[in-house]
Amino acid sequence: MSQVQPRTVPLTDMPNEQRTSPPTTSSSTSTSSSSSYRFATPSSTSAGATAISKDDRIQSLREEVERLRGQLGDKDPHKIVQRHIELLHTYNEIKDGTQALIGKYALITNRTIKEVHEELELPLTD
């Protein structure tokens, strides 16, 4: 049997979780074009096991799609998304107005916004 040689694969062609930087040596001082490649090695799982797990995964995803379609019912998903976007815009406008008022209140009372948030028992982060 011949041994499989590693091949280089551009990082942009790989999913994020598989991207790694190639090993570097201390004698390398310049950046080369090979820095965007990594060595791909054969998987430790057998091809049969991978095919079965892929088939199981596909079936699982199909079942999930059907379940989610059932939950959605006759509702139009685009209308649902539009409604959520409208609600987010409204929320952000109210929050911006509230933060402006808190800032003016802090200025009038000669305190920091952090102190006003603590006084009103509001979180400092969102």
Residue 2 belongs to a domain: no
**Domain presence at residue 105:** yes
Q: Burial letters for 32-69: b for 16+ Cβ neighbours within 10 Å, e otherwise?
A: eeeeebbeeeeeeeeeeeeeeeeeeeeeeeeeeeeeee
Q: Assign 10 to helix, strand or coil.
A: strand
The whole-number pLDDT of residue 77 equals 85
Q: How many structural domains compose the chain?
A: 1
pLDDT tens per residue across span 109-119: 999 999 999 99
Q: Is residue 66 part of a domain?
A: no
Query: In sequence order, what DSSP letters do the residues of 25-76 get, joined into one string?
Result: -TT--S--GGGGEEEE---SS-HHHHHHHHHHHHHHHHHHHHHHHHHHTT--
* pTM of the predicted protein model: 0.45
124 inside domain: no
Report if residue 99 sits inside a domain.
Answer: yes
Residue 33 lies in a domain: no
Which residue range(s) make up the domain with 110?
A: 77-119
In the block, which residue shows the tokens 């990082």? Answer: 11
Average pLDDT over residues 84-108: 96
